[in-house]
Structure 1
Amino acid sequence: MNGPTLHERPAASASWRIALPHTAAAVPVARALVRTALAEVEHAADSDTVELLTAELVANAVEHTAGDGPIELVVELLPTGCQVEVHDADPAPPGNLTRPAEAEPDPWQEHGRGLLLIRALSSSCGHRPTESGKAVWFRLPVVPRQWRRT
Structure 2
Amino acid sequence: MPLPHTPAAAPIARTLVRAALTAFPRTEPGLGHDRPRPSPTDRDLAELLTAELVANAVEHTSPHAPLELVLEVLPTSLRVEVHDHDPTPLPGLTGAGSPEHRDPLSERGRGLSLVRELSSSAGCRTTELGKVVWFRLSLAPGSRTRVTRTSSREKEAG
Please give the TM-score of this superposition, normalised by the length of structure 1.
0.79
Contact 1:87 1:134 in 2 (8 A): yes
2:57 is aligned with 1:61: yes
2:123 is aligned with 1:126: yes
Amino acid at match of 1:40: A
Tell me which residue corresponds to 1:26: 9
Tell me which residue corresponds to 1:77: 73
CA 131–100 in structure 1, closer or farther in 2 if over 3 Å, else same: closer
Mapped to 1, the partners of 2:14 and 2:63 lie a distance apart of 22
Amino acid at match of 1:141: S
State the superposition RMSD in angstroms.
Answer: 2.1
Amino acid at match of 2:49: L
Q: Which runs of 5+ in 1 are unaligned?
A: 1-17
2:89 is aligned with 1:93: yes
Amino acid at match of 1:140: L
DSSP-derived class of the 1:132 partner: coil
Amino acid at match of 1:27: A
More strand by share: 1
Mapped to 2, the partners of 1:143 and 1:100 lie a distance apart of 29
Q: Tell me how far 1:104 sits from its aligned partner.
A: 4.7
Count residues in correspondence.
130
Provide the identity percentage.
Answer: 57
Mapped to 2, the partners of 1:40 and 1:125 lie a distance apart of 24
DSSP-derived class of the 1:96 partner: helix
Between 1 and 2, higher relative CO (CA 8 Å, sep ≥ 6) is seen in 1
